[in-house]
Amino acid sequence: MLFLLWRQRFHVRIVITFIVVLFVSLLIAYVYAYFMYPEHYQSELSVTSIESGMNTVLQAKELDSFGEIEELVKLYQAEVIAIDGDRDVAFSTEQASSISTTSINRINHLDELETAFTFRSDVDMFEVVAPKEIQGENYTFVYQFDITEESEAVRHIVLVVLMIVLIIGSLGFVVASTPIISPINQLSNAARKMAKGDFSVYIKKKREDEIGELVDNFNYMSKELQQIETMRQEFVSNVSHEFKSPMTTINGFVQAIRDGVVKEDEQKEYLDIIHSSTQRLSRLSDHLLQLASLESEHHPIEKHEYLVDEQIRRVVLSTQLLWEQENITINIDLPQIMIVADQDLMEQVWMNLLTNAIKFSDRDGVIDIEAKNDRGKFTIVFRDQGMGIPKEHLPYVFERFYTVDTSRTPQISGNGLGLSLVKRILDLHKFSIKVESKRNLGTSMYVSINETEDEK
């Protein structure tokens, strides 16, 4: 279980690494201080001696004079002060220090306390206050045990232990953090390459935690950016082709007419071709400008309430020449649908969807336009029975400049901006669109819109 957490969760991995490194550092420091550091033994022996001295002094019962007490405490390198019943100093060894305030307070309340211990951190000393009877008189004895050397030894040992923990811990973290930092450095280097335009970078995934997920997301981003770059290059090529072909046609025919190469009775036909080419250039320019305007977030949208079913029927009538030339049948099954939207922009949506359906339908085909109502949310469907869209192209049909037809035949060529305009216009209205298609079985475009509150 711990191994699975280690592999799957980056946060858990850091915590476990910290705990392990800290534990190992403390263990090494403890082993060094206990087995390799001589002051440890000295300190331990001194503390044991002081403890033994306290017990011996406090439990001694056959001491009949101050001299005997002085000799006893000197065995344990201690000092003693005797206080009589009047709270005066009756006896004191030569090296005895002044009694601390805490011990004085305890002497004054000795009736409530038989023996009291005080540690004086200012002079590294233990003071023990205890009553004792000497030659029939009651005294209060203050025993002072100096532990200066022992305190210094402990401080020294603690300092050494902390230094060991710091050094070993730092080295441990450097080693343990290498597999954590390595993929981050790889991501950083890959990001720099990507910033310079190299979208082919790929990082091999070696773990299943958050870093592994980040690597997956980075690789996905790299793939998508590479796809966008490919689309951009294809767009430049397509636009160049779109402009170059009609410009070449226009230039050639104008030159021929100007030089008198074209007969007078053929000039009308040539002028029609020139006119068609200029219209093609105009449409391309309009699409580019309109898409840029729609994506600038400053494009004005004038929403009005109107019947969208009537609008779609008008669009069908306006394209009558296109579908009649191909002998295409259009079936319309639309109820009355009142919406609030920009009428001109929505007309472009229906026009693009219908002309696409006509363009990619077979001769003598059928196009169905119908609506489905789901509690006030209408979905308008444009369904053709044409060549369809390959599955691998479906995720990109609404991308700017993307064209399914790579051969760019004159019959069905396009600039890849029509569906991008449709998607952008619908997004501005908070509507949505999706596509379903199968190769050689046709394509269905689903536009979801909301009717007005009055109709609901």
The pLDDT tens digits for 333-392 are 999 999 999 998 899 899 989 998 998 888 899 999 999 888 778 999 999 998 888 888
Residues of the chain with CATH 3.30.450: 40-146
* Lookup: tokens for 249: 């046609």
Selection from 156, 451, 435 nearest residue 309 by Cα: 451
C-alpha gyration radius of the chain:
47
Residues of the chain with CATH 3.30.565.10: 300-450
User: Cα separation of 109 and 115, whole Å?
Assistant: 11
Q: Distance from CA of residue 192 to its chain's centroid?
A: 19
Q: Which residues contact 413 (CB under 8 A, 6 or more apart)?
A: 405
For 40-146, which CATH class?
alpha beta
User: Cα separation of 379 and 412, whole Å?
Assistant: 27
Q: Is 102 helix (H, G, I), strand (E, B) or coil?
A: helix
In our burial notation (b when 16+ CB lie closer than 10 A, e otherwise), range 79-91 reads bbbbbeeeeeebb
Angle between helix axes 148-195 and 210-258 (nearest 10 degrees) is 20
* Lookup: tokens for 374: 């789901």
Q: Which residues contact 312 (CB under 8 A, 6 or more apart)?
A: 332, 334, 350, 369, 380
pLDDT in the model for residue 451: 64
Q: Which CATH superfamily is domain 300-450 in?
A: Histidine kinase-like ATPase, C-terminal domain (3.30.565.10)
User: Cα separation of 252 and 268, whole Å?
Assistant: 15
Q: Which residues contact 305 (CB under 8 A, 6 or more apart)?
A: 338, 339, 340, 452
User: 210-293: which CATH architecture?
Assistant: Orthogonal Bundle (1.10)
Cα–Cα–Cα angle for 150, 152, 156, nearest 5°?
Answer: 115
Cα–Cα–Cα angle for 375, 380, 385, nearest 5°?
Answer: 140
Q: Helices marked H in 297-390 — which ranges?
A: 308-318, 320-325, 343-359
Residues of the chain with CATH 1.10.287.130: 210-293
**Sheet of strand 89-92: strand arrangement:** 89-92, 78-83, 137-146, 125-134, 116-120
Low pLDDT (below 50) residues in the chain: 1-7, 40-41, 43, 45, 406-412, 453-456
User: Cα separation of 115 and 117, whole Å?
Assistant: 7
